[in-house]
Structure 1
Amino acid sequence: MPEQNSKQATALKYDLQASSAPEVVATGTGEVAEEIVRVAQEHEVPVYHDPSLAKALGQLELGSLVPPELYKAVAEVLVFVYSLDQAHKKQIEMVLEEF
């Protein structure tokens, strides 16, 4: 069971042509969360800090799509990602983390 202060990270992938919503491609707490963030940074994937969203997404199964009740919050992340790099128009990968 994760500690309350344990880091949590969830990685999302969004292929606009293949999916109706972003997909959970990695999630974890503690050292796994740190590794998710490290790999994201190594590959220049944007990391967005939103503790409550990371926690909510961390409850989802790997491979599942973001549910409609989280669309608004994830849309804010997408706006952030788009603002960083307009080259990510067809496929978006991102990591959300909680500290």
Structure 2
Amino acid sequence: MKPKRGIKIAAALKYDVKKDGAPRLLAKGKGLVAQKILERAQDGGIDVHEDASVAGGLMQLDLGSEIPECLYDAVARILAHIIDIDSKEAGEK
């Protein structure tokens, strides 16, 4: 489900390789809540990736739940992209 044009949505995932079978939904929201999620990520130095279709899928989940298998590929691509960016930035330091 895609958000209505102009309405910002955001979701945050966490993954503990020792405890979780898959990434879990840590936070989700739209409008002001989405803006707060993005601000907290920025303040914490957490990489953000925009993908409206993945975010829309994550909005359907309950907080704390593991992502479903249908989102594994999309989330894996996002994580790989973020890891690539992090490693490039680390190489520049």
TM-score, normalisation: structure 2: 0.84
Report the equivalent of 1:34.
Answer: 35
Report the equivalent of 1:80.
Answer: 81
Report the equivalent of 1:57.
Answer: 58
Report the equivalent of 2:8.
Answer: 7
Letter in 2 for 1:71: Y
Structure 2 distance, partners of 1:77, 1:18, is: 21
More helix per residue? 2
Determine what percentage of the aligned residue pairs are the same residue: 42
* Structure 2: segments with no counterpart, 5+ residues: 88-93
Report the equivalent of 1:24.
Answer: 25
Structure 2 distance, partners of 1:81, 1:27, is: 19
Structure 2 distance, partners of 1:84, 1:64, is: 27
Question: How many residue pairs get matched?
Answer: 84
Bigger Rg over Cα: 2
TM-score, normalisation: structure 1: 0.80
Q: Secondary structure at the match of 1:45?
A: coil
Greater RCO, 1 or 2 (C-alpha within 8 Å, sep 6+): 1
Summarize the Cα distance change of 1:17–1:85 in structure 2 as closer, same or farther, 3 Å threshold: farther
CA-CA distance at 1:11 after TM superposition? 0.2
Q: Secondary structure at the match of 2:49?
A: strand
* Structure 1: segments with no counterpart, 5+ residues: 87-99
Q: Secondary structure at the match of 2:7?
A: coil
Structure 2 distance, partners of 1:37, 1:70, is: 21
Name segments (4+ residues, structure 1) moved above 3 Å: none
